[in-house]
Amino acid sequence: MTRAAVRRALAPSESIHAGKEAYIGYTVRAEGRLDPEALTTAFEALYRAYPHLAARVEFTGEGAVLTESENPAARPEIRFADGDLERPLAGLDLDQSRALSALNVVRDGDEASVCLAIQHSVADAHHATAILSALWSCYTDVVEGVPLDLGRHPYPRSLEDLLAERGIHANAPATPAAPPPATPSASRPDPVIRHVVQHRLTEAETTALANLGHREKVTINGLVSGAVLLAEAEIRDMPLTELVYRYSVNLRSRLTPPVGATEGTNVLGGVGFKVTGELAHDAVAIGRAIGEQLRAGLSDGSVQRSILDMFSRPAAAKPWDPKLALAVVSIMNWGAAPPMRTPDGLRLTNLHSASRMRETIALGGYVLSSFGGRVGIDLGWPEGDPSLPRRLGCLREQLTRLTRDL
């Protein structure tokens, strides 16, 4: 009996990324001997085990549809080339009508930038870094001669399905929406590529930041968020109270029963925060207020419902005015990267982001992650943005104030 091909409509939390053709690059820096043949074998085994990586998106009269590819030739691209390690997406041909993932390896001597690009409709960062960890485990097994047996994983489910299964629904009935276009607009904007600049703390600075958080009862995410808001107020020459801070929350461990890393596509909540006039303008106070608001939102369920509410009541649910987009400061928190195995002679030294998506207004944002015991903050602005050097300097200064002499 032949297995039926998977075909399902993308939920609103997924299709929004299909409309932008959004690919996120999960990039590790490798030092030592990297075997292209073994990495190719590992990646091929990976997308056979996780078939959504080799699926595609098509547009119909009902909107965007996730479809299992029936064409063996339309498999994800894997590319090896010499080049600039700081440009992990360079030269990669990303096409969601062909495949929803690709692997780009940029080499420079004994160093390489290995970028796993995944279409955002089928994976958020917590999902994708678990896939990235599996890729390196496969690679290690291939190099060491261990047979691969990954099985076949089911297609991940949408946030909407996972929440409905747990009895979580939007606060109000969905308002009628205009029918989606049968195909993307012919006047689509050009893709915007973000090869990020990363500010990475040393191990000592990361430890100092964690110790400060323990003492003040503020998370690292809260402390970094406070530093970022202070830096952005300076860079934009805006009062701190006029900025709108927007960040994501991984809901997997906050649902009952919990959701596995690759069981869902974008299992996230979205939160908006504003600094009030009475709040002290320092990173610790801001971080503490962010944490208190988050705990309250998780307790009353508003964070869990936030994406559902955004799509059911678009105008009322957004915590910021879309006309004030230039006042929005956004951070995606990837959390601590899962373990990544490597064979003898190869070492992974860092993790950072990259992205490519079609956008009419190309704004910048931050990604926070932790790899190898060190916190990294990615500044994801369009290539050539003239504000980046000063923005990086302001952020470094704010973080130095938090970690100095601690």
* Span 105-146, pLDDT tens digits: 999 999 999 999 999 999 999 999 999 999 999 999 999 999
pLDDT tens digit string along 12-23?
999 999 999 999
pLDDT tens digit string along 330-362?
999 999 999 999 999 999 999 999 999 998 887
- Kindly tell me if the per-residue pLDDT of 1 is higher than 80: no
Contact 113, 27 (CB under 8 A): yes
What is the average pLDDT across 262-272? 97
pLDDT of residue 72: 65
DSSP three-state, residue 124: coil
pLDDT tens digit string along 42-77?
999 999 999 999 999 999 988 999 998 777 667 899
Query: Could you tell me which residues come within 8 angstroms of residue 400 by beta carbon, excluding any fewer than 6 positions away?
Result: none
Which value, to the nearest 10 degrees, does the dihedral of the CA atoms of residues 212, 215, 217, 220 take? 20
Contact 69, 48 (CB under 8 A): no
**How far is residue 322's CA from residue 213's CA, in Å, rounded to a whole number?**
33
Contact 250, 338 (CB under 8 A): no
pLDDT tens digit string along 169-213?
998 655 544 444 445 555 678 899 998 999 999 999 999 999 999
| Phi, psi dihedrals of residue 8, rounded to the nearest 5° | -145, 150
What is the average pLDDT across 226-245? 96
Give me the numbers of helices (H) and strands (E) for the chain, helices first please: 10, 15
Query: Could you tell me which residues come within 8 angstroms of residue 162 by beta carbon, excluding any fewer than 6 positions away?
Result: 255, 259, 263, 264, 267
Which structural domains are found in the chain, ordered by start? Answer: 7-165 (3.30.559.10), 192-339+357-403 (3.30.559.30)
Chain mean pLDDT for the chain = 91
Rounded to two decimals, the pTM is: 0.93
- Kindly tell me if the per-residue pLDDT of 39 is higher than 70: yes
What is the average pLDDT across 290-308? 97
Q: Identify the residue whose tokens are 């190719």.
A: 40
What is the average pLDDT across 249-266? 98
Share of the chain above pLDDT 90, in %: 82
**Could you tell me the two tokens for 354?**
């990259």
For the four alpha carbons of 331, 333, 334 and 337, in that order, the dihedral sign comes to: positive
Contact 381, 387 (CB under 8 A): yes
* Start-to-end CA span in the chain (Å): 65
H-run or E-run covering 346: strand 346-358
What is the average pLDDT across 215-231? 97
DSSP three-state, residue 390: helix
